[in-house]
Amino acid sequence: MTQPTANSIPSETNFNHSKTSLNSFAPRLLDWFAENGRHDLPWQQHQTDTPNPYVVWLSEVMLQQTQVTTVLPYFARFMDTFPTVQDLAAADWDVVAEHWAGLGYYARARNLHKGAKQLAEIIDETGDFPQTLADWEAISGVGPSTAGAIMAMGLHHYGVICDGNVKRVLTRWAAIDGDITKSATTKELWALAERLTPTENSGLFAQAMMDMGATLCMRSKPACRLCPLQEDCLAHAEGRETDYPVKAKNSPNRVSLAMHC
């Protein structure tokens, strides 16, 4: 799947919120992130004028289906041994595998090693990392959300993310009842993520969305009382936060607010 572009924003009538809610989403989230977000993760680039896409790419691959606390020591170990993408590209596979051992999902490590070789070749030819979404998606193991994260956080360009945490936040906020495993729902979520992502500071917004999903809008016990989006979260209004995101086995039937009166 190719990520939507900044110029493909769909009609406002396709969304479940008013234009006011849609427009205020990013400012509310960014204000919350400034006060409550995580600002000390070693791969974060929003506090530097010279972002390093290598560390964002490395961390994004490690964080796929893996908790931050688990990734931290592995990330530190990789950065100690492979401080640049060229170092990783030149390493023997056995050394890379040894550093990855215990992190699981070993296809990620193979894609990481292959991707490092691809990136090193691109840098040799052009003098820099890829600068477009399409070029990042051409790197082994890099999907649309990872590519968007690298664009936004690793290069300070416009980029949209729609990973598991983001999908959970958005399906709850907009009460999206479609099966999250279906392509139609995926397209709907990407369209909403794009509509909400500001053209400036999309890197900060991406990190804020990740933090929202990881620290407040959690899978089983969302901390709605602390959420800056609570006032217009449709799932919260119906008391059905944990019904989302929807998968085929637990597809809910929409219940109108009137039935709770």
CATH number, domain 12-41+161-260, options 1.10.10.10, 3.40.50.720, 1.20.1300.10, 1.10.1670.10 = 1.10.1670.10
Class of domain 53-154: mainly alpha
User: How far is 67 from 214, CA to CA, in rounded Å?
Assistant: 9
pTM of the model: 0.88
What DSSP assignment string belongs to 126-188?
HSS---SHHHHHTSTT--HHHHHHIIIIIS-S------HHHHHHHHHHTT--S-TTSHHHHHH
Confidence at residue 234, expressed as pLDDT on a 0 to 100 scale: 97
Residue 248: the pLDDT is 80
End-to-end CA gap in the chain:
42
| pLDDT score for 15 | 79
User: Is 60 among the residues known to form the active site?
Assistant: yes
How far is the C-alpha of 141 from the C-alpha of 133, rounded, in Å?
Answer: 14
Q: List the chain pLDDT tens, one digit each, 261 residues.
A: 445 444 344 445 467 899 999 999 999 999 999 999 999 999 997 767 788 999 999 999 999 989 999 999 999 999 999 999 999 999 999 999 999 999 999 999 999 999 999 999 999 999 999 999 999 999 999 999 999 999 999 999 999 999 999 999 999 999 999 999 999 999 999 999 999 999 999 999 999 999 999 999 999 999 999 999 999 999 999 999 999 999 987 545 544 333 333
Segments making up each domain of the chain, as ranges: 12-41+161-260, 53-154
Residue 202 DSSP one-character state: H
Widest Cα–Cα separation across the chain? 65
The pLDDT, as a whole number, for residue 50 is 85
Rounded alpha-carbon distances, angstroms, from residue 152 to 44, 66, 120, 126, 160? 11, 21, 21, 21, 7
13-26 as b/e, with b when 16 or more CB fall inside 10 Å? Answer: eebebeeebbebbb
* Cα(131)–Cα(110) distance, integer angstroms: 23
Joined together, the tokens standing for residue 221 give: 């016990």
CB distance 162 to 205 below 8 Å: no
- Catalytic choice (60, 137, 194, 241): 60
Rounded Cα gap, residues 117 and 96, in angstroms: 13
